[in-house]
Structure 1
Amino acid sequence: MKRFCWPLIVAALLAGCAGEKGILDRGDYQVDVRRQAQAAYPRVKVLVIHYTADDFDSSLATLTDRNVSSHYLIPAIPPEKGGKPVIWQLVPERDLAWHAGISYWRGATRINDTSVGIELENRGWRNVAGQKHFAPFSAPQIAVLAKLARDIIQRYQINPANVVAHSDVAPQRKDDPGPLFPWRQLAAQGIGAWPNSDRVAFYLAGRAPYEPVDEAELLTLLHRYGYEVKPDLTDAQRKRVITAFQMHFRPARYDGLADAETEAIAQALLEKYGQG
């Protein structure tokens, strides 16, 4: 009789363990997760904002095809269900999506590996008499983006300086989300970086905002903040880096020229958030 009791006791103990907090039953085996390593870090460190440069249906088709993907897609006018705006999640946050492409930020490459990407339905820009004219973003779209972005930032404790534009991490290839994206408005809600106006004035030191400054010195500041600045960049490529910075932090004028206000903004950002 005793021979048959022992297996029953073991089975009962195992059943009790399976229901114990921190013991996960995965069918053919169990996993004890009660002791977690300290040297573990979240994959996600960066939040990248894009525009789709297309309508919603075409954007959804592109982002669910084989060549490109993004974690989220937000329509220009999000539909509502049960009184709440609906957005599309196309890739789980734990998985890598191919949205940033060849990229660089704050010393890191392969930004896809460490980021969540959010695509906003937006037509992008069109050429009018040789000038880029960007499409605006709707208030409902930005409102739900703010809620989503805040959740992601809190979930992964993302540094404000790591909430970036696609053009920040790939300035030679991309313009999105462009100068009409409300970075300042979002920063006021705790989403992303923005310089303090009094510190910009301090570093401007009475100079006229558009007074020319040394381009090499400005690019050194931008590289310290996070942008990729290689020594062999052409004149056009250097201008692209400055333009990307200006579209993000000085959208009133984004001509790619090195001026005093752009320099002062870079200095104020470095003071506030440190270098990458």
Structure 2
Amino acid sequence: MTAPYEVAVRAEATLGEGPTWDPATGRLLWVDILGMRVHSYDPSSGRRTIRTTDQHVGAVKPRADGGLVLNLRDGVGLLDPDDTFRWLHHDPAPGRRGNDAAVAPDGSLWAGTMRYDEAPGGGTLSRLTGDGEATTILPDVTVSNGTAWSPDGRRLYYADTPTRRVDVFDYDHDSSGIHNRRPLAEIEKGAGFPDGLTVDADGCVWVALWDGGAIHRYTPSGALDRVIPLPTPRTTACAFGGPDLTDLYITTARAGLPAPHPLSGSVLVIPDAGRGLPQLPFQG
């Protein structure tokens, strides 16, 4: 299936990532990881803002009481509404940085890391509470990426990019733990690598394909039922946004491309692509 796309934000992000709709402000948040920038975009007015960070920033999410939580190179930090920065969990490790992150049904932040050299097993997926308590959920991850929950909160979907798989776990609401890991879908060779992902109101999983120039949608049983080709080869992540959560926003990257497409690094949008789920803010 082909789908018409529009350019939401024309940019030249080195590594655009992590689109997140903030319903409290009606804005799309996203980051340029290597450019050390946090972006916001208001589609109703076209207004954009850019904040520069002091180090590489893997993800940004809104907080329940205002401000932002940032998955940074050296740990997870909080940006208060007055722009004051403080560390929630400071955990620097040489050669490692924060990558994708997501907010769980209980309001905790599940933050991924990876090594800059992408050494196998050099990253983790950790759960952070609002008081800064950190628990390693998955050790020995290579490139921790897309993380999202099913509409009923009983399933966690996850991509460790080099595996070429989207895996699914059972999620325990009482313990906030996961178990029973199994593959949901495997990306065929030559079709790219699974990067960021999101789940829609029907429980289907939308996956951005790095070096695949496309979005794939998989049913809860793992069947591929939609392919949306895009002109930008390094498609990095996707999320539903807009007042009715029906517009699919897609981040892209220029990093590593000898001849980037003119839209590489921009944020694309597919209007009325489906219906997304409300994303919870971080309770911290």
Q: Pick the TM interval, shorter chain.
A: under 0.3
Between Structure 1 and Structure 2, whose CA radius of gyration is higher?
1
What TM-score do you get using the length of structure 1 for normalisation?
0.27
What TM-score do you get using the length of structure 2 for normalisation?
0.27
Pick the structure with more helix per residue. Answer: 1
